[in-house]
Amino acid sequence: MTTPPVSCDGLLAKISAYLDGDLNAATCEQIEQHAQTCPDCARVIADFRATTGICRQAADAPLPDAVRAKAQARVRELLVRGPLVR
C-alpha cells in the first residue's frame, strides 16, 4: 500500500521532525520528492536548515560576562520570588 504524496501543509507540519531526522525513510522520501517539484517548500527547507545551523553555531559561542551575570541574577530572582502570574 502506498501512502499519498505529502502536501505543502503536510510538509510544514513535519518539517521539524524531518530536519531532526525523526521521520521514517518513506516519509522523508515523500517530503524530498515534494520539495523537488515545489520551489516554495524547497526554499522553506533550505531556510530552516540555514536557521538551524546558525542557532547551533550561536549555541557554541560563549556569552559575554555581563550577559551571563544578568541572566544568572534574573534566574536567582525568579527562584526566590517565583514567576509572575498574569
> How far, in Å, CA of 27 to CA of 2, rounded?
11
Residue 67: all three cell numbers together: 550577559
- Per-residue cell: 30: 515523500
pLDDT of residue 84: 64
* DSSP states of 57-75: HHHHSPPPHHHHHHHHHHH
Q: What is the pLDDT of residues 21-62, one digit of tens each?
A: 999 999 999 999 999 999 999 999 999 999 988 888 888 888
Domain residue spans of the chain: 8-81
Name the range with the highest mean pLDDT among 5-14, 16-25, 50-59.
Answer: 16-25
Q: Measured between alpha carbons, how far is residue 68 from residues 54, 56, 58, 63, 84 in Å? A: 20, 18, 15, 6, 22
Q: What is the pTM of this model?
A: 0.62
